[in-house]
Structure 1
Amino acid sequence: MTETRSVTVEREFPHPPGKLWRALTQPHLIADWLMKNDFAPAVGHKFNLSGEWGGTLDCEVLEIEPEETLAYTWNYAHDDPQFDLRSTVTFTLTPTPGGTLLRMEQAGFRPDQPRASGGAKYGWQQNFDKLDALLGRME
């Protein structure tokens, strides 16, 4: 079995779990902070995330616990093994006195993919900035 690594990003948002859950599971909101998509909140649903950079991620919903956990595959086929990725993204929401702690873990980076895992860590932090801005605009 090949050893894999994970990227984890956590941030507390001053909003209730239900509001974050909507942003994580409604396609038009996902498109605002992450990527264009055809997501549906159903275990087994296969969907794509389409990046502005022209790439497409093949995904499948693995787990849904409303307002608690969302997990899906995050697969990107690439000719360069450094960027060919088979991973799982898991969001965990934990209520806090000030709102919600959102934890994102992307697991499945091979040891020979330091650029991909480093890019993911940077990218998720940027995505969380966009998510924060979206949450501020939502009712």
Structure 2
Amino acid sequence: MTEDSTTGDGETLNVIIEREVPFPAEKIWRALTQPHLLEEWLMKNDFKPAIDHRFSFRAEWGAVEGQVLEIEPERKLSYTWGDHNLKSVVTWTLTPTGKGTLLRMEQRGFRPDQPRYYQGAKAGWPKFLAALEELLARID
């Protein structure tokens, strides 16, 4: 199941992607929190799964700064995602299912005057999630 949706509260826009993937939450958690695995599907980084840890994701097009907000191992991970203009929050939620895990990615906080960021997220996250699924199929 793939659900890519957009929601808004009138003030901000959000990007939500939900997929049931045939992998256990423990394996997905590693790919979301281990820097060498994050680099394979997302970007180069200095991420650590520790509350308040400040990190950056780096790519050819630039960098994104973040700070870890919430950690529930193998269940939920939330961090800020932005630069000098964008202040958003990315939240990953992992829910075990009979066939694997329901993986939900939500990025909240795009202002209506930030169409470039919002469109970039709408286009980028499905590609990142496809790369994540490819990685999960390859690793033990």
* TM-score, normalising length: structure 2: 0.90
Q: What's the counterpart of residue 57 of structure 1?
A: 64
Distance between the aligned counterparts of 2:108 and 2:59, measured in 1? 20
Q: CA deviation at 1:20?
A: 0.2
3-state secondary structure, aligned to 2:121: helix
Is 1:114 matched with 2:121? no
Percent of paired sites with the same residue: 59
Q: CA deviation at 1:5?
A: 1.4
Distance between the aligned counterparts of 1:122 and 1:75, measured in 2? 16
* TM-score, normalising length: structure 1: 0.90
Deviations 1:63-104 (CA, angstroms, capped at 9, x unpaired) = 000000000000122xxxxxx211000000011111011101
Is 1:15 matched with 2:16? no
Residues 7, 121 of structure 1: 8 Å contact kept: yes
Q: What's the counterpart of residue 76 of structure 1?
A: 83
Distance between the aligned counterparts of 1:8 and 1:118, measured in 2? 13
Q: CA deviation at 1:11?
A: 1.2
2:72 is matched by which residue type in structure 1? E
Q: What's the counterpart of residue 37 of structure 2?
A: 29
Matched positions, count: 131
2:122 is matched by which residue type in structure 1? K
The runs of at least 4 aligned residues of structure 1 exceeding 6 Å deviation read none
Q: What's the counterpart of residue 5 of structure 1?
A: 13
Q: CA deviation at 1:52?
A: 2.4
2:112 is matched by which residue type in structure 1? P
1:56 is matched by which residue type in structure 2? A
Q: What's the counterpart of residue 81 of structure 1?
A: none
Q: CA deviation at 1:114?
A: 2.6
3-state secondary structure, aligned to 1:43: coil
Q: Structure 2: which 5+ residue stretches go unaligned? A: 1-9
2:25 is matched by which residue type in structure 1? P
Q: Indicate which of 52, 56, 66 corresponds to 1:44.
A: 52
Distance between the aligned counterparts of 1:115 and 1:52, measured in 2? 17
Distance between the aligned counterparts of 1:117 and 1:56, measured in 2? 16
1:86 is matched by which residue type in structure 2? K
Looking at both structures, which has the greater relative contact order when contacts are Cα pairs under 8 Å and sequence separation is at least 6? 1
Distance between the aligned counterparts of 1:68 and 1:120, measured in 2? 23
Residues 35, 52 of structure 1: 8 Å contact kept: no
Is 1:131 matched with 2:119? no
